[in-house]
Amino acid sequence: MISKTLYVTNKLGVHARPAGLIVDITGQAKSDVTIIHDNQKANAKSILNVMMLAIPPGSHVEFEIDGEDEEEVMKLLERLFHENFHEESN
């Protein structure tokens, strides 16, 4: 299992669209992916769970990934966060 903390740098935080983009990645992953914010753990393959975390801009988010493609999935997530979910940055 690997884990990493990522930063939310877009202006609006993880609302529906970014949550969708995250699930685009995690949904296809063979590994289990957990998203942790504010001590709340959620299944990162569920768009509803990810949205319910309502992660505000400027937050830290931790991902725990466990499975054969864990490295690859983490890389994709990192890139997504680095690119501000293709939105305006904060």
Partner 1 sequence: MKTSTKNQTNSKKRPRLVLVGLPASPGYAMGHCHTISNREVTVVEETLPNERLAQEEQLFLKALHNTIKEIAQIKQITVDRLGIDEGRIFDAHLMILKDPTLVNGILDQIKKEKKNVQWAVHTQITALISSFESHKSALMRDRAMDLKDLYHRLMGALDDSGPVIMEDEISKGAVLISHELTPSILISLKKGQVLAFATDSGGRTSHVSILARSMEIPAVSGLRNISAMVESEDTIIVDGTGGMVIINPNEDDIRKFEEKLEVFNRQQRELFTMRQLEPMTRDGKYITLHSNIELVIEADKVLDYGSTGVGLYRSEFLFFRKGLPTFEEQVAAYKYILESLAPHSVTIRTLDAGGDKLIPDISAANESNPFMGWRSIRVCLEHEDLFEMQLKALLVANTKGNLRILLPMISSMQELRRSKEHIEKCRKELESEGVFCHDVELGVMIEVPAAVMLVDKLAKEVDFFSIGTNDLIQFTLAVDRTNELISSMFQPHHPAVLNMIHKTVMAAHREGISVAVCGEMSADPMSSLLLVGLGVDELSMTPWSIMECKKIIRSINFEDVRETAQNVLKMDDTESVNAYLKKKYSQTITDLGVSCFISTPESNED
20 binds partner 1 (CB under 8 A): yes
Active site residue 15: yes
Instruction: Write the DSSP symbol of residue 89.
Output: B
Beta strands 32-37 and 40-43 are: antiparallel
73 binds partner 1 (CB under 8 A): no
Answer whether 29's CB lies under 8 Å from 86's CB.
no
49 binds partner 1 (CB under 8 A): yes
12 binds partner 1 (CB under 8 A): yes
Answer whether 18's CB lies under 8 Å from 87's CB.
yes
Site residues, partner 1 (CB under 8 A): 12-13, 15-17, 20, 23, 27, 43, 45-49, 51-52, 54, 56
Where in the sequence numbering do the catalytic residues fall?
A: 15
